Amino acid sequence: MGGQDMTGQSLMDIYELLYERYGPQHWWPGDGRFEIIVGAILTQNTNWGNVERAIANLKAAGVLYPQAIHGMSVEELAGLIRPAGYFNVKARRLKSLIGWLFDQYAGDVDEPSAVDLQTLREQLLAVHGVGRETADSILLYAYDKPIFVVDAYTARVAVRHRLIDADADYEQLRELFQWGLPQDVRLFNEFHALIVRVGKEYCRPTARCAGCPLEALPHVLE
């Protein structure tokens, strides 16, 4: 059995243990593409509760649709998304992203779904303020593209379970999961959400392995 098979086995072990403990996480179910895209920007450097407050403001103001935000000033938008923190930066980023939607797709949030994964990823990464994690979250959660989203929680779990070196970068980490698993959008969607859950509850900067769903798997602490 080759190394990749071993990794594949370990990744599915991790997934199954997390799923057994936590069940489905219901990330972004039925929120609609535009809300997911807005949420992907707003969630940068903050928790989801703050994002929900900012989205509630946009809804209450009746502006949670592309044309409205496209036509709004940065200052006006920043005022509405204030609860998400870094609101001036995020307002500019949101405006850039929606500007891209208008430049490339006439403001139609559904049109990018017909574009292939790699092209769409390159387009998103070229937008000001859209990094890999944000781009991949949009691709996976808004457009159902089979790409694995990784973050600091993913890195922590993978390093502590000896799946990857501590100095691995985003792409190396993403490729570990991307190619070590079946290419299944639902699996990628659920797995990322489950890793975030275990990262928040157990695999914190100081690991709390006792009682962790992955406690029985071989792991090391740095």
The residues binding ligand SF4 (CB under 6 A) are 157, 160-161, 198, 202-203, 207-209, 212, 214-215, 219
Alpha helices of the chain — where are they, by DSSP H?
3-22, 33-42, 48-60, 66-70, 74-80, 87-105, 117-125, 132-137, 152-160, 170-180, 185-201
Would you say how long the chain is, in residues?
Answer: 222
From the CB of 9, what's the least distance to ligand SF4, in Å? 16
Which of 64, 55, 18, 10 minimizes the C-alpha distance to 181? 10
Are the C-beta atoms of residues 21 and 194 closer than 8 Å to each other?
Answer: no
From the CB of 214, what's the least distance to ligand SF4, in Å? 4
Taking the least distance from each CB to ligand SF4, the nearer of 97 and 212 is: 212
Alpha-carbon gap, residue 202 to 209, rounded angstroms: 6
Taking the least distance from each CB to ligand SF4, the nearer of 165 and 215 is: 215
Which of 198, 149, 153 minimizes the C-alpha distance to 176? 149
From the CB of 152, what's the least distance to ligand SF4, in Å? 13
From the CB of 83, what's the least distance to ligand SF4, in Å? 31
